[in-house]
A and B are shown apart, each in its own frame.
Chain A
């Protein structure tokens, strides 16, 4: 009996061993990156958020083409036109209703109302306001526009100067979305350099960096940003103001990243692979760049994504207060400056539309960043 039992037992013991090894073998073939990706795409909100974010950046890239009009193109006879909704007629194609101008006899205020008896047909690929492409050549091709030149079609209405809100929002997205990106990039460079150095070397260096962070973080963000942006000279050219704002935004941004990375590096520094590298004669630079930074890279990406909404909101808030970007630069915050005046807010509520776009981008970034954070640590439950 026992003679026959043994191989059976061995087999019985062997079978679970094989089945146990199978998923393990499957796991060995999967890289860390693939694990992260799998976890990420499982979260529907994060995927949608990510797609929306990518979508916004693609739109920003082709904003001049997608926008029916130029960012500063004025229609003097169409001031404060309400949004003309987009309609589809199967026979004639897309159209918007025309507008009717009325003058209020009491206030002498000119107002426009939608006139359903007139239609303004639309056409794809029209020639309009010219814009530079990549700084190489200029183009005047727009995705769509009113079929009759000179006739306006304003989906989201026009502003005080008769400029198309949709075009301004689309082109303004370039400023709003890139300022966050550049700001985050700058924070990343400063934050990861100081954070890693502070955690790796410790001692006096660490003390100085931590004290600096403590002082900066003693200030509430918006008031500090306000004070710093108020210091920008009025006569600076737009590009310089733009760059200065990104620098100012990253003044606070980097501290968060530096704190987080310092903690990570402090823990990693004691790990055996660092000791091993050192024993093998690696210098500090090699240990930091080859061994430590790749370990915290995922963390950096997550923090950067989560920092984006804050940067976008900060730019919007500052520009809204007339402290950030200013015309001729156009960002969503600059557009909202028009909504500051309560009277115009009452008469022309569509001036608030850029706020919807801001909230949408921030919401998408929040979902995206949240999903990334959960996915970045693929070995946790």
Chain B
């Protein structure tokens, strides 16, 4: 098992190297740099930009160096935890992104947990009550859940929360508690502000998991070991929960790796809609203002999150189903 994990970790290194190159190329794509967009802004507001001062700044930020030199400089800082400097915020990237990445991970994990907690019992119920009214209703809901994008759900949530319940739905805290010191009320407020976004984020994946578990349960229930278990006189409860579910759950674990990108994508865009202090809002701002190291580091970390998540999914699958490990 350990050897398997180490092998997978080693395989990540070259991919990570190529990912860092790709990231750098992407953030270099826009014509000009942060200073030209700053200059354009200054020009539009009427204040003329001083050419000499700009050149000076460009030199100071290292923007006058060849691209590969800048790439090597950027990457070589990684082991020290140095991810470059944000032009716009005038602070090291590392200080800026730490909190936001944490919250993104927290939100993603929360919705992952929600997904599983809801999907497993519902999927089992759907399979054991195939074609019942509830099952058909769940099937219809599942397709609906797959069809409504999470940012739209976010908008609808804002609309309902803000104008029907007159509750605070955006950000992490209600306005009256933002500056308050930590108390039970504030913790409850925070969890309320995280729960709904996590649920919205989880919805699409949840419906997918329910469908997969239902299908895989139906397949497993027809197999001989289940019949044997029944023939032994085990109760239906034990047959389903101890025998069938254990086998039927494998596809769910393997699909987890496929759901992570959706989750991270969703967390980014939902963060923007609900103005949560996740990576989303700062990332999009960094992209439009060409704050390249900030944008690049965000992109890099989002990719890293995905890769680590996939690794965990693979390890979980190998742990549950040892046959996988040797393939």
Is residue A320 within 8 Å, beta carbon to beta carbon, of the partner chain?
Answer: yes
A339 touches B155 (CB 8 A): yes
- Beyond A214-B15, A346-B162, A363-B143, whether A222 also contacts B268 by CB under 8 A is yes
A321 touches B284 (CB 8 A): yes
Q: Which residue of B is nearest A222, CB measured? A: B265
- Interface with A: B27-35, B64-72, B224-232, which one? B27-35
A349 touches B299 (CB 8 A): no
A316 to B148, CA, bound (A): 12
B147 touches A359 (CB 8 A): yes
- Beyond A215-B19, A220-B268, whether A317 also contacts B151 by CB under 8 A is yes
Is residue B26 within 8 Å, beta carbon to beta carbon, of the partner chain?
Answer: yes
Q: Which residue of B is nearest A318, CB measured? A: B269
- Beyond A223-B264, A363-B147, whether A342 also contacts B158 by CB under 8 A is yes
Task: Determine which residue in B143, B149, B162, B269 has the highest number of CB atoms from chain A within 10 A of its CB, and name it.
Answer: B149
Residues of A within 8 A of B146 (CB): 309, 362-363, 366
Residues of B within 8 A of A342 (CB): 158, 162, 170
A15 to B306, CA, bound (A): 63
A321 touches B272 (CB 8 A): yes
Contact of B306 among A220, A323, A367 (CB under 8 A): A220
CB distance from A176 to the nearest CB of B (A): 13
Is residue A233 within 8 Å, beta carbon to beta carbon, of the partner chain?
Answer: yes
- Beyond A321-B284, A342-B158, A359-B147, whether A219 also contacts B302 by CB under 8 A is yes
Contact of B298 among A223, A313, A339, A352 (CB under 8 A): A223
Residues of B within 8 A of A217 (CB): 261
Within 8 A of B (CB), among A289-322: 309, 313, 316-317, 320-321
- Interface with B: A126-134, A142-150, A179-187, A224-232, which one? A224-232
Residues of A within 8 A of B269 (CB): 222, 317, 321
A163 to B62, CA, bound (A): 48
Is residue A12 within 8 Å, beta carbon to beta carbon, of the partner chain?
Answer: no
Is residue B163 within 8 Å, beta carbon to beta carbon, of the partner chain?
Answer: yes
B19 touches A227 (CB 8 A): no
Residues of A within 8 A of B41 (CB): none
Is residue B159 within 8 Å, beta carbon to beta carbon, of the partner chain?
Answer: yes
Is residue B288 within 8 Å, beta carbon to beta carbon, of the partner chain?
Answer: yes
Scoring B residues 249 to 271 as 1 if CB is less than 8 Å from chain A, else 0, what string do you get?
00000000000111011101100
Contact of B15 among A218, A316, A352 (CB under 8 A): A218
A165 to B302, CA, bound (A): 37
Is residue A334 within 8 Å, beta carbon to beta carbon, of the partner chain?
Answer: no
Is residue B118 within 8 Å, beta carbon to beta carbon, of the partner chain?
Answer: no
A231 to B266, CA, bound (A): 21
A227 touches B295 (CB 8 A): yes
Is residue A63 within 8 Å, beta carbon to beta carbon, of the partner chain?
Answer: no
- Beyond A309-B147, A320-B151, whether A219 also contacts B18 by CB under 8 A is no
- Beyond A227-B26, A366-B143, whether A345 also contacts B152 by CB under 8 A is no
Residues of B within 8 A of A211 (CB): 14-15, 18
B299 touches A219 (CB 8 A): yes
Is residue A221 within 8 Å, beta carbon to beta carbon, of the partner chain?
Answer: yes
Contact of A223 among B18, B31, B147, B299 (CB under 8 A): B299
B163 touches A346 (CB 8 A): yes
Interface residues of A (CB under 8 A from B): 211, 214-224, 226-228, 230-231, 233, 309, 313, 316-317, 320-321, 323, 336, 339, 342, 345-346, 349, 352, 355, 358-359, 362-363, 366-367
- What are 22 A-B pairs at a CB distance below 8 A? A216-B22, A217-B261, A220-B302, A223-B268, A226-B268, A227-B26, A228-B26, A230-B30, A230-B288, A233-B31, A317-B269, A321-B284, A323-B284, A342-B162, A342-B170, A345-B155, A346-B159, A349-B159, A358-B152, A359-B149, A363-B143, A366-B146
Interface residues of B (CB under 8 A from A): 14-15, 18-19, 22, 26-27, 29-31, 143-144, 146-149, 151-152, 155-156, 158-159, 162-163, 170, 260-262, 264-266, 268-269, 272, 279, 283-284, 287-288, 295, 298-299, 302-303, 305-307
The 8 closest A-B CB pairs, nearest first, are A222-B265, A231-B29, A230-B287, A363-B147, A220-B264, A362-B147, A231-B30, A220-B261
Sample of 17 further A-B pairs with CB below 8 A, known A345-B155, A362-B148, A366-B147: A217-B261, A218-B303, A220-B265, A220-B268, A221-B265, A222-B268, A226-B284, A227-B27, A230-B284, A230-B288, A231-B29, A317-B269, A339-B155, A342-B170, A359-B144, A362-B147, A363-B147
